[in-house]
Amino acid sequence: MKISIVGSGYVGLITGISLSSLGHRITCIENNKDKVFAINNGKSPFYEPGVDLALKSAIKKGLLQATESLKEGVINSDITIIAVGTPTIDNKIDLTFVKKASEEIGRALRESKKYHVVTVKSTVLPGVTEQVVKPIIEKFSGKSIGEYGLCMSPEFLSEGTAIKDAQEPDRIVIGQYDDKSGMEFAKIYNGSKAPIIFTNLWTAELTKYTANSLLATLISFSNEIARIAEATGKVDILEVWKGVHLDKRLSPINGRVRIKPGVLKFILSGCGYGGSCFPKDTKAIASYADELGIETSLIKSVIEINNTQPIRTVKLLEDVLGKNLAGKKIAVLGLTFKPDTDDLRESPAFPIINELLSEGAIVFGHDPGAYKEGVPPQLSNLGISLANSTEEALKNADGVIVVTSWKEYTQLTPKFFKENMKLPVVIDARRIYNRSSFTNAGVIYKGIGL
């Protein structure tokens, strides 16, 4: 089938690449000229493992191209997917790009004679597809449902594994305005083994927020318990999680093999979640509930715990170095919100760095991915030095906070910290090191949940 995708950001391009692997012809519509040029030359505008290779292969097979012309892309396709950004402004979802895309798609459809399905893949609150997208498309196309189809199908991609997540989805949720819309849209998944859930538009929209809020809730719950563990002075939270994870309802036994479900990664303590989804989606669903008159004390607490969790790592540092960090050199290892990405959005590294700076510390940051292709604006005005190596970041440092669990950091030894730092004070915000081997080697080691 011919599919056009409006927006060539993370979701749009990865969706396009994965649909091309099912044999569809994809047109990525993007209003940024540089991105169009990059995509057509097989270069992804963002970093994601495997994306360049998959993109080049799709282009070579003639199955994917990018264009600035929305009209051309829409008219020459059977299905249009909206994959533009839905940022948060003042804790509320900003639909500017969704509205603009809907208007332009509507205008293009006015000139199209055939049945065309429009599917929203951007994360939008319940009701947006029916109450915002639909009237705009109808106003500008002059058509009504039946003459065109309307669906909402959320994405469930995780950064770092997005290509695999998109090519082998665990489920496909299709919210449909009517049966015909859903049946037509589902054709693009012919050949996929994933189960398809057909539902209404509102349910599909809420499914996405629920999936992300559940995982965010597990993280904040784990961090709240870590605070209790810390306060006892007697408990290592990792041992608690070991005891909890082995409940066979959380890790079932199949024959003799213990299955370790991916969800257990979210029942672990650390310095909090970040990224493009959890912070934005939890805030958006909470303010949507407010509008409905529903009190979401749980989701609001999840957000609050996450807001305060990062700076607890600075308190751990102060427990060793004292309250006054003025003039002390502190290294921060890991700036991205998680490993294997260059994404800095909502990374817990920022509140940690701001707290260190406000206390007068001299901060050296390091990250293997965040500034490989040049220093992004979020980092250039931060008031920290960016090191080219872990050695440079740690050299003569009075302390280090390890924020992101990049593989490179997990392999650092106590000897390495001792040899490079003035004072080997290691704050492990992700609990990636073996506590006893670090303390036995003479490192002053502190971690979340200890």
Q: C-alpha distances in angstroms, 137 versus 106, 131, 133, 190?
A: 4, 11, 6, 27
Judged by CB under 6 A, which stretch of 66-74, 181-189, 261-269, 431-439 contacts ligand UDX?
261-269
Residue type at 102 in one-letter notation: S
Site for ligand UDX (CB under 6 A): which residue of 28, 150, 157, 426? 157
Contact between 268 and ligand UDX by CB under 6 A: the answer reads yes
Site for ligand UDX (CB under 6 A): which residue of 60, 265, 415, 422? 265
Contact between 447 and ligand UDX by CB under 6 A: the answer reads no
Q: How far is the CB of 165 from ligand UDX (least distance, A)?
A: 7
Residue 217: CB atoms within 10 Å: 18
Cβ(152)–Cβ(129) below 8 Å:
yes
C-alpha 95/C-alpha 119 separation (Å) is: 15
C-beta closer to ligand UDX: residue 6 or 238: 238
Contact between 277 and ligand UDX by CB under 6 A: the answer reads yes
H-run or E-run covering 162: helix 162-167
C-beta closer to ligand UDX: residue 166 or 362: 166
Q: How far is the CB of 272 from ligand UDX (least distance, A)?
A: 6
Q: Write phi, then psi, for 59 (nearest 5 degrees).
A: -65, -40
Q: Which 170-229 positions form the footprint of ligand UDX (CB under 6 A)?
A: 212, 215, 219
Strand pairing of 257-258 and 253-254? antiparallel
H-run or E-run covering 219: helix 201-232
> Which strands, in side-by-side order, build the sheet including 79-82?
64-67, 25-29, 2-6, 79-82, 116-120, 148-152, 172-176, 196-199
Contact between 283 and ligand UDX by CB under 6 A: the answer reads no
Contact between 9 and ligand UDX by CB under 6 A: the answer reads no
Contact between 432 and ligand UDX by CB under 6 A: the answer reads no
Q: How far is the CB of 270 from ligand UDX (least distance, A)?
A: 4
Report residue 183 CA to chain centroid gap. Answer: 30
Mark whether 151 is an active-site residue: no
C-beta closer to ligand UDX: residue 129 or 336: 336
C-beta closer to ligand UDX: residue 361 or 402: 402
Contact between 369 and ligand UDX by CB under 6 A: the answer reads no
β-bridge partners, 253? 258
Contact between 16 and ligand UDX by CB under 6 A: the answer reads no
Which of 161, 205, 169 lies closest to 188, judged by CA? 169
C-beta closer to ligand UDX: residue 185 or 273: 273
Write out the residues near ligand UDX by the rule CB under 6 A: 155-159, 212, 215, 219, 265-266, 268, 270, 272-278, 337-338
Active site residues: 277
